[in-house]
Amino acid sequence: MKQDQFLDAIDRDEAERRWRAVITIALPGSETVALQHAWMRALAQDVASPSDVPSFDRSNMDGFAVRAEDTYGASEEAPRRLRYSGESIAPGDRPSKTIGVQDASAVATGAMLPRGADAVVMVEHTDLAGAELLVRRPVAPGANFSGAGTDIGRGETVLRRGDQLTSREIGILAAVGLDHVEVVPRPRVAVLSTGNELIAPGDPIEPGKVYDSNAYILADAVREQGGEPTLLGIERDSREALVAKLRDALEWADMILLSGGTSKGDGDLSYRAVADLGPPGLVVHGVALKPGKPLCLAAVERGGRNVPIAVLPGFPTSAIFTFREFVAPVIREMALLRPDATDIVAATLPMRVNSERGRTEYLLVRLVESSDEDRHWVAYPMGKGSGSVTAFSMADGFVAIPRQQEYLEANSTVEVQLLSRGQQPADLVVIGSHCVGLDLLLSEMQARGFRCKFLAVGSTAGLEAAKRGECDLAGVHLLDPKTNVYNEPFLNERVTLLHGYERMQGIVYRMGDTRFEGKSIADAAKTALADPDCLFINRNRGSGTRILIDRLLGDARPAGWSIEARSHNAVAAAVEQGRADWGVAIETVARDGGLGFLPMQAELYDFALPICRGERPAVQAFRALLSEEPIRTRLAERGFRIPSSPQAPR
Asked if the peptide bond before residue 610 counts as cis, ω within 30 degrees of 0, the response is no
The whole model's pTM is what? 0.66
Q: What pLDDT is attached to residue 560?
A: 93
| Range 344-418 classified under CATH 2.40.340.10 | yes
Residue-wise pLDDT tens digits, 456-487: 878 898 999 899 888 899 999 998 988 989 99
Q: What pLDDT is attached to residue 291?
A: 63
Q: What pLDDT is attached to residue 256?
A: 96
On the 0-12 / 13-18 / 19+ scale of CB atoms within 10 A, 41 is buried
| Range 430-650 classified under CATH 3.40.190.290 | yes
Residues 6+ apart with CB under 8 A from 202: none
Helices 629-637 and 617-626 pack at an angle, to 10 degrees, of: 70
Q: Where exactly are the structural domains of the chain?
A: 12-27+185-334, 31-53+151-183, 58-146, 344-418, 430-650
CATH number of 31-53+151-183: 3.90.105.10
CB burial readout 342-379, b (16+ within 10 A) else e: eeebebbbbeebebeeeeebebbbbbbbbbeeeeebbb
Q: Which CATH superfamily is domain 58-146 in?
A: Molybdopterin biosynthesis moea protein, domain 3. (2.170.190.11)
Q: What pLDDT is attached to residue 7?
A: 46
Question: Vertex 444, ends 439 and 449: CA angle to 5°?
Answer: 125
In angstroms, the CA 259 to CA 190 distance is: 11
223's enclosing H/E stretch is helix 214-224
Q: What pLDDT is attached to residue 387?
A: 42
Q: What pLDDT is attached to residue 417?
A: 81
Q: Which amino acid is at 372?
A: D
Q: Are 58-146 and 430-650 the same fold in CATH?
A: no
Residue-wise pLDDT tens digits, 621-638: 999 999 999 999 999 999
Low pLDDT (below 70) residues in the chain: 1-8, 261-268, 290-291, 340-342, 358-360, 371-374, 383-393, 420-424, 644-650
300's enclosing H/E stretch is strand 296-302
In angstroms, the CA 429 to CA 366 distance is: 9
| Range 12-27+185-334 classified under CATH 3.75.10.10 | no
Q: What pLDDT is attached to residue 337?
A: 86
